[in-house]
Amino acid sequence: MTRLCARCQGGTRIHKGTSDSRWKVLAILGAIGLRGMIATMTIEAATDREIFLTCLDHCLKPKLQAGDVVVMDNLSIHKASSSGRALK
């Protein structure tokens, strides 16, 4: 996410090197409720369906109480057919 070319005042090009470091993917999954942060999970990988379902099973589900409501947005991993069943 670094600019490969740029211009400075006067229209001349800027020649500046960029770092060669490799970025790590860090995913933070969490649930917040009236009691504050209910469940959080941090992993060094992209979030996929399996990771999301694992988070539901091991982090969120044990913390839910009777009468709690879970609301999810329309992210594709939230639409997994087994995500609703994971909370039952």
Give CA–CA dist 1/58, Å, rounded. Answer: 34
Unique residue bearing structure tokens 């500046």: 16
Residue 44 pLDDT:
92
Residue 60 pLDDT:
92
Q: Are 74 and 39 in contact (CB under 8 A)?
A: no
The residues that bridge with 39 in the sheet, in sequence order, are 31
Q: Domain residues of the chain, as ranges?
A: 9-86
Question: Average pLDDT of each block of 10 consecutive residues along the chain (88 residues)?
Answer: 68 68 83 89 89 89 89 79 65
Nearest residue to 56 via CA among 40, 45, 75: 40
pTM recorded for the entire structure: 0.61
Residue 79 pLDDT:
75
